[in-house]
Amino acid sequence: MPKTYIALDLETTGLEPGRDAIIEIGAVRFHVDGSVERFQTFVNPGRPIPPFITKLTGICDADVAGAPSPRQAAEQVAQFVKRDPVVGHNVGFDLAFLRRQRVLRANPGIDTFELAGILVPHASRYSLANLVEELGLDLPEQTHRALDDAELTRELFLALLGRAMQLPLDTLQELVRQGRRVSWGATYFFEDALHERRREGFQGAIGAQLAARRGDDAAGPLFVRESPPEPLQGRREPRPVDIEALTALLAPDGPIAEATPAYEYRSQQVEMMQAVAEAFNEGRHLLVEAGTGTGKSLAYLLPAIEWAVQNGQRVVISTNTINLQEQLAGKDIPQLMEALYPFRWQVMKGRGHYLCRRQFEAFRRRGPRSVEEARMLAKILIWLPNTLDGDGDELFLPTSEERQMWHDLSAGSEACEPERCRYFYEGTCFFYRARALAEAAHLLIVNHALLMADAVTQNRVLPNYELLIV
| 236-283: pLDDT as tens digits | 889 999 999 999 999 999 989 988 888 889 999 999 999 999 999 999
89/51 same-domain check = yes
User: Do residue 412 and residue 303 come from a single domain?
Assistant: no
Which has the closest alpha carbon to 358: 404, 403, 420?
Answer: 420
Percent of the chain past pLDDT 70, that is, above it, reads 92
pLDDT confidence bin for 3, thresholds 50/70/90: confident
Whether residue 179 is contained in a domain is answered as no
pLDDT for 142 equals: 65
Alpha-carbon dihedral sign for residues 272, 277, 282, 287? positive
Cα separation of 141 and 55, whole Å? 15
Do residues 462 and 323 share a domain? yes
Taking the mean position of all CA atoms in its chain, how far away is CA 207?
12
Residue 142 lies in a domain: yes
pLDDT at 213: 47
User: Do 8 and 81 meet the contact criterion of CB atoms below 8 Å apart?
Assistant: yes
Mean of the pLDDT values across residues 411-435?
92
In a domain, 62, yes or no: yes
- Give the integer Cα–Cα distance in Å for 347 and 434: 8
Going by C-alpha positions, the residue among 51, 57, 47, 53 that lies closest to residue 19 is 47
| Domain range for 290 | 243-344+441-469
**What's the whole-number mean pLDDT along residues 126-146?**
86
Q: Are 8 and 153 in contact (CB under 8 A)?
A: yes
Domain-located, residue 195? no
Asked if residue 135 has pLDDT above 80, the reply is yes
Span of 100-104, 110-114, 215-219, 275-279 with lowest mean pLDDT:
215-219
Structural domains counted in the chain? 3
| Same domain? 15 vs 133 | yes
| pLDDT recorded at residue 88 | 98
3-state secondary structure at position 402: helix
What is the average pLDDT across 295-311?
95
Residue 221 has pLDDT above 50, yes or no: no
Q: Can you give the C-alpha Rg of the chain in angstroms?
A: 27
For residue 351, what is the DSSP state? G
Apex CA 273: angle with CA 271 and CA 275, to 5°? 70
pLDDT band, very low/low/confident/very high, at 226 (cuts 50, 70, 90): low
H or E segment and range at residue 315: strand 315-319
pLDDT (tens digit per residue) in 25-83: 999 999 887 778 999 999 999 999 999 999 999 999 999 999 999 999 999 999 999 99
Q: Work out the burial of residue 257: count CB atoms within 10 Å of its CB; fewer than 13 is exposed, 13-18 middle, 19 or more buried.
A: middle
Residue 214, pLDDT score: 44
* 73 found inside a domain: yes
Q: Which of 131, 147, 164 is the last residue of a domain?
A: 164
Inter-axis angle of helices 296-311 and 267-282, nearest 10:
30
Please give the pLDDT value at position 204.
46
**pLDDT range class, residue 234, cuts 50, 70, 90:** confident
397: exposed, middle or buried (C-beta count within 10 Å: 0-12, 13-18, 19+)? middle
Per-residue model confidence (pLDDT) at position 217: 40
Distance CA 182, CA 370 (A): 6
Beta bridge partner(s), residue 112: none
The pLDDT tens digits for 322-359 are 788 888 998 899 989 888 889 999 999 999 999 999 99
**Domain-embedded: residue 434:** no
Across 314-322, average pLDDT: 92
pLDDT interval class at 309 (50, 70, 90): very high
Under a CB-based contact definition with an 8 Å cutoff, are residues 168 and 384 in contact? no
Q: Mean pLDDT, the chain, as a whole number?
A: 90
Q: Both 152 and 41 in a single domain?
A: yes
Q: Pick the closest to residue 41 from 85, 10, 83 (CA basis).
A: 10
- 215 and 248 in one domain? no
Please determine, for residue 306, whether its predicted confidence score (pLDDT) is greater than 90: yes
Rounded to a whole number of angstroms, the distance between the first and last alpha carbons of the chain is: 57
The neighbour count for residue 93, using CB atoms within 10 Å, is 16
Please, what sign has the CA dihedral across residues 59, 62, 68, 69? positive
**How many residues make up the chain in this entry?**
470
Asked whether residue 15 carries a pLDDT value surpassing 50, the answer given is yes
- Pairing verdict, β 36-42 and 22-31: antiparallel
Question: Would the pLDDT of 200 be above 50?
Answer: no
Mean pLDDT of 186-196: 92
Range 89-102 average pLDDT: 98
Task: Please count the other Cβ atoms lying within 10 Å of the Cβ belonging to residue 143.
Answer: 15
Cα dist from 216 to 106, 198, 208, 209, 333, whole Å: 46, 27, 9, 10, 13
Q: Which amino acid is at 240?
A: P
CA dihedral for 27, 33, 34, 37, sign (positive or negative): negative
Any idea of the CA torsion for 301, 451, 331, 299, to the nearest 10 degrees? -20
Same domain, 380 and 449: no
Q: How confident is the model at residue 391 (pLDDT cuts 50, 70, 90)?
A: very high
Q: How confident is the model at residue 201 (pLDDT cuts 50, 70, 90)?
A: very low
Question: Would you say residue 417 lies in a domain?
Answer: yes
Residues 18 and 85 in one domain: yes
DSSP string covering 47-65:
SPPPHHHHHHH---HHHHT
Residue 349: phi, psi to the nearest 5? Answer: -125, 170
CATH number assigned to the domain comprising residue 148: 3.30.420.10
The answer to whether residue 206 scores a pLDDT higher than 80 is no
Q: Are 122 and 209 in contact (CB under 8 A)?
A: yes
Q: Average pLDDT in the 193-218 region?
A: 54
Residues 11 and 138 grouped into a single domain: yes
Residues 337 and 380 in one domain: no
Q: What is the pLDDT of residue 198?
A: 52
Please indicate, yes or no, if residue 427 is contained in any of the structural domains. Answer: no
Q: Within 10 A of 196 (CB to CB), how many other CB atoms are there?
A: 14
Question: What pairing do the DSSP bridges indicate for beta strands 22-31 and 4-12?
Answer: antiparallel
Q: Averaged over 153-181, what is the pLDDT?
A: 95
451 pLDDT above the threshold of 70: yes
Given a cut of 70, whether residue 208 has pLDDT beyond it is: no
33 and 122 within one domain: yes
Residue 199 reports pLDDT greater than 70: no
Same domain assignment for residues 413 and 445: no
Asked if 183 contacts 368 with a C-beta cutoff of 8 angstroms, the reply is no
Contact predicate 118/375, CB 8 Å: yes
Grade residue 423 by pLDDT with cuts at 50, 70 and 90.
Answer: very high
